[in-house]
Structure 1
Amino acid sequence: MKVRVLGILSLLVVIIVVTVSSVILTSASRELTQELQINRVAALNRFAQLASDAAEDNDTTQLQREMDRYSELYGEGILIRLQGRIIHSGGLSEDHPDVGNALNRASLNLSDTTLNPVRAFGTGGDTISRSFGTASQVLGEVVMEVNLDAARQKLRERWIAVVLAAVALGALLLLAAARITAWVLRPVHRLSRAVHELETTGKTGQLPEAGPPELRELSRSFTAMAGTVTDSMESQRRLIADTSHQLRNPVGALRLRIDLLQLELKSEPEKAAAAGVVAELERVEEMLDGVLKLATAEHRAFEGAARADQAEHQRHAVIDPFPILQGEVERAAPAARNAGSQLSLEGPAPGNQIACDPDELAHMVGELLTNAIKYAPGAHITVATLQTQGGTAVVISDDGPGLPAEQLAASTSRFWRAPQHSKIPGNGLGMTIVERLAQANRGRLVLEPHKPHGLTARLEFAKPEEDMHA
């Protein structure tokens, strides 16, 4: 944004500087032309008077002397046609096309005393002419050569001065534009970062009130709004966590009462009904446990995003994931055997290290293994680590039925369950928890089909050195 604004301002500065410079240089050219014209017309009139006097006296000696002196002083030629005679000085002759045209106009009593505008990088000279005589008779014509080199040199000097002044003015205006742009856009950049921080972490710091009055008011309004949003989100998280935690006590008391009630039941239908109530209680307990885990995972994800955004967080420990994977595979082995599944762990690969909290990695791998055993009974489940282009991935894959492509995107939504798995116990929070914990450790969860059939879950982590310097 700053580049675009500075580009527009720079274009305006260039237009202003060029326009002002052009006006100044045009005025300078006009001024030098008028000054030169006034001086040369005065000289032209003087020689016309001298020629008129010489015609009356019939003596051109004094006239020739004055003409020679003028040509020697100014380097400009003069040609006078007087009663059929040609008197000239400075090498000016009537063979010159301009001189011939000037003589013809003057013979018709048409004076031409206007000079063409002086150009800084032009060449050649100019001529002026007039006739002299009485009111009823033209006695002769005077043609004067005008050397424009001195005027051009003055104009070039002014050009250099104007160009230098224009460059200095342009640099000053560009510097002022850059300062003003930075002053105006600095609050906008802060606001943009604050919006990103609020989006990723759910909270943001107070924006400093700087810049134009409108942006200061916007900063105050955003800070107030962000505080309200942060408080609201935090209250919602606490409400969910506190409610889930507080519900454990009445649910536990209810389980105890049902257990005591079961001791008093005699008939099989009564015992079956009590068993159904216990199953529902277990489902509620599982749901509450999942909600608590999700609240914790989301809190960790928000904290991780805030730390990553502020670049002031304590770095995650760099660990070898293989021992953790080995422990989770051993822990899940009995459940896999009961489901008829085969668990295999590929050997450790050298150099496969990740920056992750060990307990949270164990939690994520445990959830993914539980899902694979639960929803792909009898499948072959493989756990491995592999190098990726950006770091290291922990991969859990199975050759079970998998999920259709349209269901993969929804599989990390809260409480989402595939329709074909509706009869399998679960709360639909496992994948959501794994995704949030991966975000908390600056990784990501990727779900994709396993060929020829099945599901692959990848926990991708950046290289530890990239994480350290992110």
Structure 2
Amino acid sequence: MRLRVLGVLSLFALFIVVAVSASILASVSRELTQELQINRVAALNRFAQVADDATSSGDTVPLQRDMDRYSALYGEGIVVRTPQATLTSGGLSASRTDVGDALAQARLGLSNTSLDAVQPFGRSSQVIARSFGTANQVLGETALEVDLGAAQQKLRERWLLVVLGAAAGAGLLVAGAERLTAWVLRPVHRLTDAVAAFEESGRATPLREEGPPELQRLSRAFSTMAEHVSESMEAQRQLIADASHQLRNPIGALRLRTDLLALALETPGQKDAAAGMTRELEHVEEILDGLLRLASAEHRVQEGLAPGGAGSSLGERAGVLDAWTVLADAAGRVAPLAEGASDRIEIADPPAQPLRFRGNRSDLTDIVGELLENAIKHGGPEGAARGTGANVRAGVSLRGGTVVIEIADDGPGLTPEERASSTTRFWRSPRTAGTRGTGLGLSIVEQLAGANGGRLVLAAAEPHGLVARVEFPAFPGVREGATEEGTPDPVHEEAAPDTARGLAHGTAHDAGLPHDGADGTRGGEGHHA
């Protein structure tokens, strides 16, 4: 936009400079032409008068002497034709075509004493002529060859000055146009940056009111709007957190009363009903707990994205973490759940060099634990009961300065549309509607990953299943190739942003993620939870 506006203003400025310069150049040419014409016509009239006197007296010697003297002084030739003779000076001949034409017109009483406008480059001379005699009779003609060289040289010098002045003026106008463009567009660029920052962080950044009055009003309106939207978003998050927190006490009291009521019940039907009520209360408590965690994570993400807030969202327990240690710790916590469902968790061997990144250990344990629980719940072969017999594979790797923790299952997976919606609050796949859950797990994982400077990526596994990957910037000093030499590459990501090659069945190898060999086998033994 800046180039377009500057281009238009520059073209307009150049047009003005060219128009003014052309007018000045034409004026200079007219001035020099007029000055030269006045002088030469006066000389021509004088020679016509002297020629008339010489015709009357019959003595042309004084006339010839004046002609020779003039030609010697100005370098211009003269031709005077009288009834007695034709006189010449300065090498001008009456037989020359242009001179003959001028004398013929003068003989007819058509005096030609006008000079064409002097041009910097062109013919160097022009002939003017007039007749002399009485009102009733033309006695003779006088022709003068006007030398235009001196006037042309003077014109070129003046034109050079005008061109230099025009160039300087054009430069000043273009510089002024650039300053004007910057003055007009600076608020627009700042508004664009503020919109991008607001879209990313959800926080309003007040804009300086500068530039034209219209843009100042626009900046003021945006600042007000962004502040209101930011306050509204913060109020919504706070409302969720407050409501979840305030509901915990009455729900806890209700559960206590339900437990006491269950003790007083006698029939099996009554006890089953009380147990069902208790399960529903537990589900409500899980939802409230998830809402609190989600609100906290969203708040920390916004704090981290705020100007000057980098790293502030990690909390007091932030530090440098080892990815494999985090994975192993989380796997140990969910091991009882996996054993109870006859599931299997395979963890790749630790890399030769620790893969470190900065984060909050509690958050990372929650992230990886949630992904492992999700894989255990929804993994398993076709036809098996949901959450039983699942093979969960996990490992860590380093990709282009990014530490990756990857967890894959062999369940039915999610379609691309379902993966796009999976981080929406309370979203659940229709295929898992019968399993216990709140629909907040992946939303919390996504927000916690963002609060720690990372991101969550979901992809399809082959031949079926889901790959969940959390990526974090590697801590300075972690080198590419941290896995042992000869280790197969980690899971290969396809070109599409939401698909990736999955992990095959078997044990993990070294620090790489589970990987098929050429014959479908896998080298090395992994760690099993």
Q: Tell me the TM-score normalized by structure 1.
A: 0.91
Match of 1:397 among 408, 413, 425: 408
Match of 2:345 among 340, 343, 346: 343
How far does residue 419 in structure 1 lie from its aligned partner after superposition? 0.6
- Determine if the alignment matches structure 1 residue 360 to structure 2 residue 371: no
How far does residue 354 in structure 1 lie from its aligned partner after superposition? 3.5
Q: Structure 1: any 5+ residue segments left out of the alignment?
A: none
Q: 2:303 touches 2:309 (CA, 8 Å); kept in 1?
A: no
Q: 1:188 touches 1:215 (CA, 8 Å); kept in 2?
A: yes
Q: Distance in 2 between matches of 1:315 and 1:52?
A: 110
Q: 1:187 touches 1:210 (CA, 8 Å); kept in 2?
A: yes
Q: Distance in 1 between matches of 2:66 and 2:58?
A: 16
Residues 396-415 of structure 1: pairs in structure 2 closer than 5 A: 396-415=407-426
In the alignment, what sits opposite 1:383? 394
Q: Distance in 2 between matches of 1:147 and 1:353?
A: 91
Q: 1:305 touches 1:439 (CA, 8 Å); kept in 2?
A: no
Q: Distance in 2 between matches of 1:340 and 1:104?
A: 126
**Higher mean displacement: 345-354 or 289-298:** 345-354
Amino acid aligned to 2:413 = G
Q: Distance in 2 between matches of 1:10 and 1:433?
A: 54
Q: Distance in 1 between matches of 2:447 and 2:96?
A: 95
Q: Structure 2: any 5+ residue segments left out of the alignment?
A: 381-388, 478-529
- Determine if the alignment matches structure 1 residue 428 to structure 2 residue 431: no
Amino acid aligned to 1:443 = G
**Higher mean displacement: 394-403 or 310-319:** 310-319
Amino acid aligned to 2:323 = P
Match of 1:252, SS state, is helix
In the alignment, what sits opposite 2:506? none
Q: Distance in 1 between matches of 2:361 and 2:371?
A: 16
Cα separation, partners in 2 of 1:311 and 1:262, compared to 1, 3 Å: closer
How far does residue 302 in structure 1 lie from its aligned partner after superposition? 1.4
Q: Distance in 1 between matches of 2:300 and 2:99?
A: 96
**Higher mean displacement: 218-227 or 275-284:** 218-227
In the alignment, what sits opposite 2:125? 125
Moved over 6 A (4+): none
Q: Distance in 2 between matches of 1:79 and 1:313?
A: 99
- Determine if the alignment matches structure 1 residue 58 to structure 2 residue 58: yes
**Higher mean displacement: 357-366 or 19-28:** 357-366
Q: 2:300 touches 2:313 (CA, 8 Å); kept in 1?
A: no
Cα separation, partners in 2 of 1:238 and 1:101, compared to 1, 3 Å: same
Q: 2:71 touches 2:90 (CA, 8 Å); kept in 1?
A: yes
Q: Distance in 1 between matches of 2:115 and 2:142?
A: 16
Q: Distance in 2 between matches of 1:99 and 1:141?
A: 11
In the alignment, what sits opposite 1:439? 450
Q: 2:338 touches 2:344 (CA, 8 Å); kept in 1?
A: yes
How far does residue 352 in structure 1 lie from its aligned partner after superposition? 4.1
How far does residue 60 in structure 1 lie from its aligned partner after superposition? 1.9
Residues 276-330 of structure 1: CA deviation (Å, up to 9, x unaligned)? 10111111011111111111111122122224xx586669755432221221122
**Higher mean displacement: 366-375 or 338-347:** 338-347
Q: Distance in 1 between matches of 2:312 and 2:283?
A: 38
Q: Distance in 1 between matches of 2:420 and 2:313?
A: 31
Tell me the percent identity. Answer: 54
Amino acid aligned to 1:279 = R
Q: Report the aligned-residue RMSD.
A: 2.4
Q: 2:258 touches 2:278 (CA, 8 Å); kept in 1?
A: yes
Amino acid aligned to 1:375 = H
In the alignment, what sits opposite 1:81? 81
Q: 1:41 touches 1:113 (CA, 8 Å); kept in 2?
A: yes
Q: Distance in 1 between matches of 2:354 and 2:159?
A: 69
- Determine if the alignment matches structure 1 residue 373 to structure 2 residue 376: yes
Q: 1:300 touches 1:440 (CA, 8 Å); kept in 2?
A: yes
How far does residue 114 in structure 1 lie from its aligned partner after superposition? 1.8
Amino acid aligned to 1:73 = L
Q: 2:304 touches 2:310 (CA, 8 Å); kept in 1?
A: no
Match of 2:109, SS state, is coil
Amino acid aligned to 1:115 = L
Residues 112-135 of structure 1: CA deviation (Å, up to 9, x unaligned)? 222121122334222212222222
How far does residue 390 in structure 1 lie from its aligned partner after superposition? 6.1
Q: 2:303 touches 2:312 (CA, 8 Å); kept in 1?
A: no
Q: 1:133 touches 1:140 (CA, 8 Å); kept in 2?
A: yes
Amino acid aligned to 1:363 = D
Amino acid aligned to 1:252 = G
Q: 1:354 touches 1:461 (CA, 8 Å); kept in 2?
A: yes
Residues 290-309 of structure 1: pairs in structure 2 closer than 5 A: 290-307=290-307
Residues 387-428 of structure 1: CA deviation (Å, up to 9, x unaligned)? 434634322222221112221211111111111110011111
Larger % of helix: which? 1
In the alignment, what sits opposite 1:274? 274
Match of 2:326 among 319, 324, 327: 324
How far does residue 152 in structure 1 lie from its aligned partner after superposition? 1.6
- Determine if the alignment matches structure 1 residue 250 to structure 2 residue 253: no
Q: Distance in 1 between matches of 2:126 and 2:405?
A: 89
Amino acid aligned to 1:332 = V
In the alignment, what sits opposite 1:205? 205
Q: Distance in 1 between matches of 2:172 and 2:476?
A: 44
Match of 1:204, SS state, is coil
Residues 154-193 of structure 1: pairs in structure 2 closer than 5 A: 154-193=154-193
Aligned length: 464
Q: Tell me the TM-score normalized by structure 2.
A: 0.82
Match of 2:421, SS state, is coil
Match of 1:409, SS state, is helix
**Higher mean displacement: 193-202 or 313-322:** 313-322
Q: 2:198 touches 2:205 (CA, 8 Å); kept in 1?
A: no
Match of 1:146, SS state, is strand
Q: 2:13 touches 2:174 (CA, 8 Å); kept in 1?
A: yes
Match of 1:79, SS state, is strand
